[in-house]
Chain A
Amino acid sequence: MAKEPVAVTIDRVTRIYKNVKGRKDVVAVDDASFVVDPGELVTLLGPSGCGKTTTLRMIAGFDLPTKGAIRIGGEDVSSLPPNKRDTATVFQSYGLFPHMNVAENVAYGLRIRKVPKAEIDERVKRALALTGLADYAERSPGRLSGGQQQRVALSRSLVVEPGVLLLDEPLSNLDALLREQMRVEIRRIQKSLGITAVYVTHDRVEAMSLSDRVIVMKDGRIRQIGAPSVIYERPDSAFVAGFVGKVALFPVEVRGVDGDACACTLRGKAIKAGSRAPGAAAGSPAVLMARPESLRLGPPDQGVVDGTVRQNVYLGSSVESFVTTEYGELLVQIDDPAGKRIAAEGERVSVSFNEERVRVLPASAD
């Protein structure tokens, strides 16, 4: 299945659902722009109603942009129907044809494309082998497990060698273990085929572990685009920071900016944060974000914030310590706890920062 991968360009796309019966117009996607490079897997991540599925459906052609253009491999496809676009979608509910068996399901796209019979058989066989379904060709989809149905849907999309593979929360109907397996498998297949893919999910772990880049959306707007590590370590906003991982936020005053680093004060205590978001500048309200792994516990009065340990949760490779402070409950992660002294529940402690790791963000509502 060697085919030149193509790029997908979303160019200032807006989708407005007109009001029905006096209700207000809904702006599902608001002026979104991004480019998916050839062969790249990009995830659209966000809470439900953020516009990620609408964006995907517009790429597939099920929905039309109110404004803006969508280009696939340089061609403007904005007004083309789905059947004229070089995309293949794996649906959340799979959308398998109940009146056809597995092989017929997979062959459907090839039959539509009038591929010769012998070649269809050959390619269906290969696609089923790729997803480990070789033995289920004659089964009816209704008699397969959720994971197997998922694989049929994936094979059916891959067999037509689409320019772009679209995945709409494909794993949300599977149980946790299967989800993890399929995640790895989807990534393996996508990489081995070098296919351009857009993946929609509301699960941050899925997004982090699968993607080359993640696009975080909220209320129809794109909040940040970046590699998983960037999104996690260097979020631009409190919303993104909170959506992709556990985070503690402290209101701070920015005193001075030195390149990426940033000097600020938290209730008079000076902190030199290792990085700052572009929006954080002296004089504007800001928050300091710290991931659980950037926080340390120490004896009282020696850190930034004092508190009491409420509960320790032992996780093997780490201990999660919940500390009650004047800033609310903080989660402190203590890695490799073996041999370390862990403050007991009820003990007074202080929490200090790994200043290299903390980051100053603009304190907007989101």
Chain B
Amino acid sequence: MPLSEPFVFTKDKLLKFLLAIAVFAAVDLWVYSTVRSSLRANAAETRRNALVLLARSAPEDAGLRDDWLASIADSLPGGAAVYLIPDAEDPSAYEAIAVDEAALELWNGIASTDDAAKGLESAYYFENYASSVKATLSDTPVRLFYAPVTDDAQSELLGIAVFMAPETADSGLERLLTLFALGVFALFAAMTGVSRFSRDSTIGYAVLVLSGLAVVFIVFPLVEAFRLSFLTDGEYSLAIWTDALSGAHLQSLWGSIRLGIWTATASTLVGFLFAFVIYRTSARGKKFLSAIAQMPVISPPFSLTLSILLLAGNNGLITKQLLGLESFSIYGLGGLVLVQTIGMFPIAYLTLASVLQGLDATLEEAALDLNASRWSVFRTVTLPLAVPGILSAWLLVFTSSLADFANPLLLAGNYRVLSVEAYIQVTGRNDLGGGAALSLLLLLPTLTAFFVQRNWVSKRSFVTVTGKPNLKLVEIASPAVRIAMTAGVWLVIAFVLSLYGTIVAGCFVKNWGIDYSFTLSNIGEALSRGKDAIRSTLSLAVMATPIAGLIAMASAMIFVRKTFAGKRVLEAVMMTPFAIPGTLLGIAYILAFNKTPFLLVGTGAIIVINYIVRELPVGIEGGVASLRQIDPSIEEAARDLGADEGMVFKSIVLPLVRPAFISSMSYTFVRSMTAVSAVIFLISARWYHMTVLIYNFSENLRFGLASVLATTLIIIVMGAFGLMRLLVRDTGAFDKTLSR
């Protein structure tokens, strides 16, 4: 069924449109120039009055004259003055005084011109004269203004002040006017375009808004980050990149990749173990195992690291108190691989679970039937079928590990990874361009992995070959192997649970590592110090959640059901943030939005927008998948019965994609509550984030306070997760979004 075309372009419409905006542009320009010239006249008047006043302030006392002349530089920034004392004998002669050498030089250059003569003549008649001739005072364009300096009675000419006032290129008001005129024009063009070319204006505006969003909040910041990485002191140079590609930083890149490889490998192994035990054996407690295995993905950043530090840090419970180790250090590659594996094996597990779950047991049965041993069934049937899934899982974890920022920030020690390096470059050295370059460097391996996974591995899946798979279980693990594997799974589960237990325990310990006595004071202190952060974290997430959900579903409807020129480009741009490490997006945002016309740094809006832009791709994917399964005639029927596009979206699409809608909202909420890598660059005193506070507490060794906040965050996130499960029976969509 052909997709519906919301836009119609004909020569006739195009001509009328161009005519309309041309007429509007003319009117706009006329109004603009009228207002601008009156603004300018006004400004000139104001300046003239100011200069006259300035001339009046000239002291009669010759001794104070030099001070007065020197003070001109302050009252007239970039300008100067020359003071002329007329000769009592000869009206045409005078003595010129100035403290600014350049001013005197300028005066001597023009003193004999007609214009200067006119100025002097006016002054002799006690009149001001504003010259219209342009002059240059040490590279600044200036205009001369001649003002007579008289005694109080205004009867005697004491001197003539010649001001060299810099031309103000654009006053702030004028800039605002320009922006306003352009804005009005853009708005008019957009609205005329929509009403002229779109069959239903709702879709027209929706496409317009989405495109605007994509350009301003995705393309623009990334381009800015890229551009500014080539700028040093306002000039284009390769200095930043020369530094970024120097030995030390390349070592960090290699460090990131090495960490990624280790974590991805370990996580895939653990994930496969879980998926196999849960979906391919008759082990007990599968629901419980599966639930616990998903916990780490939605738990806040720093919490697992915090727990590891409590257990095995320099003052850790196990390392110090129980074992008394002195030389052991958890900081570095080993500790990072451990923490990341615990945090990221669920990604591998969820990916592999869907693969192993969909595996047709008939194939294994057939192999067993052909007298293959269980081991060779696994080796020749199960494993080869799972290979694309395994590769997929590996690449997904690899990407996440590279983009991970929170764990290395606390736990890297002397081990260097790029995401932290970029952060330090920005916050420690205040070198935004350098930070941008480093995070762009990180894009190389992540994008490669992302595209390999998307376009190559995921197309090699065997799972959907057969029509109706036999989901009956065929036990291909021998009892001994099964027991060993199950034991391994339970061991991991026990470890995960103990980590969470440690965080909870940390809330009630006075001073971890030194004084293990019970206390409740942490809770009070953490909540009172974290009150504002909790409130702002929650309100930002709550603001972003419905907006992201609605935009995701509307985009899904447009992408699945409509066709128009540039749709693919828009789609690709909207999906980009998914493949971009948060660090890069955060840095790109502060680079792009700390200046007009998008002065947003420091506001809550920039954080909300950042959440929305980052979490949209997953929501859109969910909506697209959900909408693809819905017969388009249902929407057509509604349209046919008189519903416009907005009504179709509200009364038909939204109810039908409800599971995807709710999943995308809870996903956005959870991710916004646990954000750190981008948001750490965007927070301000007013809009703080709990995760950053947890980091600060941990850095200052206030583990008790950090534990309380981490626990609070876990409770909030788990609550949202549970609520979502109540609202949507089938959480398949959500589980799938989690594994992304």
Q: Is the A/B pair a real complex?
A: yes
List residues of A whose CB falls within 8 A of some B CB: 17, 60-64, 79-83, 87-89, 91-99, 108-109, 112-113, 153, 156-157, 160
Contact status A88-B641, CB under 8 Å: yes
8 Å CB contacts to A: which residues of B1-43? 2, 4-5, 8
If the complex has contacts A64-B8, A79-B8, are A91 and B642 also in contact, measured as CB distance less than 8 A?
no
Check if B633 sits within 8 Å of A95, measured CB to CB.
yes
Q: Does B634 belong to the interface (CB within 8 Å)?
A: yes
Which residue of A is nearest B630, CB measured?
A: A98
In Å, the complex CA distance between A63 and B8 comes to 11
User: Does B640 count as interface, using CB distance less than 8 angstroms?
Assistant: yes
Chain A CB within 8 A of B199 CB: yes
**Are A93 and B641 in contact, with the CB atoms below 8 A?**
no
Is B656 engaged at the interface, CB distance under 8 Å to the other chain? yes
C-alpha gap A270/B153 in the complex (Å): 134
Number of A-B contacts (CB under 8 A): 78
* Contact residues in A for B591 (Cβ distance below 8 Å): none
Residues of chain B within 8 A (CB-CB) of A160 are 641-642
Besides A61-B640, A93-B631, A95-B633, 13 other CB < 8 A contacts? Answer: A82-B639, A83-B643, A91-B636, A91-B637, A95-B634, A97-B634, A97-B637, A98-B656, A99-B655, A108-B638, A108-B641, A109-B641, A112-B638
- Provide the main secondary structure of the chain B interface: helix
Whether B637 and A95, one on each chain, are in contact in the complex, defined by CB atoms closer than 8 angstroms, is yes
Contacts of B655 in A (CB 8 A): 99
User: Within the complex, what minimum Cβ distance (angstroms) separates A207 from chain B?
Assistant: 22
Query: Does B640 lie within 8 Å of A83, measured CB to CB?
Result: yes
Partner of B636, one of A95, A98, A109, A113: A95
Given A64-B8, A96-B634, A99-B656, A112–B2 Cβ distance below 8 Å? no
| Contacting pair A109 B4 (CB below 8 A) | no
CB-CB under 8 A from A95, the residues of chain B are: 631, 633-637
A64 x B631 contact (CB < 8 A): no
Nearest residue, chain A, Cβ from B654: A99
Which residues of the other chain, B, contact A97 by a CB distance below 8 angstroms?
Answer: 634, 637-638, 652
- The distance from the CB of A319 to the nearest CB of chain B, in whole angstroms, is 44
Q: Does B365 contact A (CB under 8 A)?
A: no
Q: Does B325 contact A (CB under 8 A)?
A: no
Q: Pick the contact of A112: B635, B636, B643, B656 (CB < 8 A).
A: B643
Min Cβ gap B102→A in Å is 67
Contact A89 B637 (CB under 8 A): yes
Q: In the complex the two chains form, is A17's CB within 8 Å of B634's CB?
A: no
A242 to B643, CA, bound (A): 42
Can you report 22 residue pairs joining A to B where beta carbons are below 8 Å apart? Answer: A60-B640, A61-B639, A62-B636, A81-B644, A82-B636, A82-B639, A82-B640, A83-B639, A83-B640, A83-B644, A88-B641, A91-B633, A91-B636, A95-B633, A95-B634, A96-B634, A97-B634, A97-B637, A108-B643, A112-B647, A153-B637, A157-B641
In the complex, residue of chain B having the shortest beta-carbon distance to the beta carbon of A85 = B640
With A91-B636, A96-B634 known as contacts, the answer to whether A62 contacts B641 (CB < 8 A) is no
A79, A113, A156: the one within 8 Å of B637 (CB): A156
For B640, the chain A residues whose CB sits under 8 A away are 60-62, 82-83, 87-89, 157
CB A199 to nearest CB in B, in angstroms, measures 16
Give CA–CA (A296, B621) in the complex, Å: 66
Nearest chain A CB to B565's CB is how many angstroms away? 11
Docked pose: A81 CA to B651 CA in angstroms: 18
| B200 at interface by CB-CB < 8 Å | yes
| Docked-complex contact A62 and B642, CB < 8 angstroms | no
Q: Which residue from B200, B633, B635, B643 sits with its C-beta under 8 Å from A92?
A: B633
Chain B positions within 8 Å of A60 at CB level: 636, 640
- Given A79-B8, A81-B199: A98 in contact with B634 (beta carbons within 8 A): yes
Shortest B254–chain A CB gap in Å is 41
By beta carbon, the residue of chain B nearest A81 is B199
Cross-chain contact of B642 among A17, A92, A98, A112 (Cβ < 8 A)? A112
- A113 near B642 with CB under 8 A, answer yes
Q: With A17-B2, A62-B4 as known contacts, state yes or no: A109 contacts B642, CB within 8 Å.
A: yes
Complex interface: chain B residues within 8 A of A17 (CB): 2
Q: Which of B186-209 contact A (CB under 8 A)?
A: 199-200
Q: How far apart are the CA atoms of A109 and B640 in the complex, in Å?
A: 9
Contact B199 A63 (CB under 8 A): no
Chain B min CB distance to A113 (Å): 6
Decide if A93 touches B2 in the complex (CB within 8 Å). Answer: no
- CB A200 to nearest CB in B, in angstroms, measures 14
A63 in contact with B2 given A79-B8, A81-B199, A83-B643 (CB within 8 Å): yes
When C-beta atoms are compared, the residue in chain B nearest to A87 turns out to be: B640
Scoring B residues 661 to 700 as 1 if CB is less than 8 Å from chain A, else 0, what string do you get? 0000000000000000000000000000000000000000
> A97–B651 Cα gap in the complex (Å)?
10
B636 touches A93 (CB 8 A): no
Partner of A89, one of B8, B200, B636: B636
Docked complex Cα distance between A81 and B637 (Å): 13
Nearest neighbor of B201 in chain A, beta-carbon distance: A81
Chain A residues with Cβ under 8 A from B634's Cβ?
95-98
- Rounded to whole angstroms, the CA-CA distance of A259 and B178 in the bound complex is 81
Given contacts A82-B639, A88-B640, A112-B647, contact A94 B633 (CB under 8 A): yes
What is the CA–CA distance of A17 and B635 in the complex, to the nearest angstrom?
22
CA distance A63 to B640 in the complex (A): 12
Report B560 CB to chain A, min CB distance, Å: 15
Give, as a whole number of angstroms, the nearest-CB distance from A48 to chain B: 13
CA distance A99 to B637 in the complex (A): 14
Smallest CB separation, A255 vs chain B (Å): 50
CB neighbours (8 Å) of B199 from chain A are: 79-81
Kindly state the separation between the CA atoms of A94 and B636 in the bound complex, as whole angstroms. Answer: 10
Q: How far, in whole Å, are A99 and B631 apart by their CA atoms in the complex? A: 13
Closest to B200 in A: A81
A93 contacts across to B, CB distance below 8 A: 631, 633
Query: What's the nearest-Cβ distance from chain B to residue A90, in Å?
Result: 9
B651: A residues at CB distance < 8 A: 108
In Å, the complex CA distance between A175 and B631 comes to 21
Residues of B within 8 A of A79 (CB): 8, 199
**A158 vs B647: C-alpha distance when bound (angstroms):** 21
A79 to B719, CA, bound (A): 50
CB distance from B212 to the nearest CB of A (A): 23
Of A81, A87, A88, the most chain B CB neighbours within 10 A belong to A81
In angstroms, Cα B639 to Cα A91, docked, is 13
Q: Which residue of A lies closest to B4 (CB)?
A: A62
List chain A residues, Cβ under 8 A from B638.
Answer: 97, 108, 112
Instruction: Please list the 8 inter-chain residue pairs (A to B) with the smallest Cβ-Cβ separation, ordered nearest first.
Output: A95-B633, A109-B641, A95-B637, A91-B633, A112-B642, A82-B639, A81-B199, A99-B655
Shortest A136–chain B CB gap in Å is: 18
A92 to B633, CA, bound (A): 9
B635 contacts across to A, CB distance below 8 A: 95
Q: How far is the CB of A302 from chain B (nearest CB, A)?
A: 56
Contacts of A99 in B (CB 8 A): 655-656
Contact residues of B between 526 and 556, Cβ < 8 Å to A: none
Q: Which residues of B have CB within 8 Å of A112?
A: 638, 641-643, 647
Contacting residue for A83 out of B8, B633, B642, B652, CB 8 A: B642
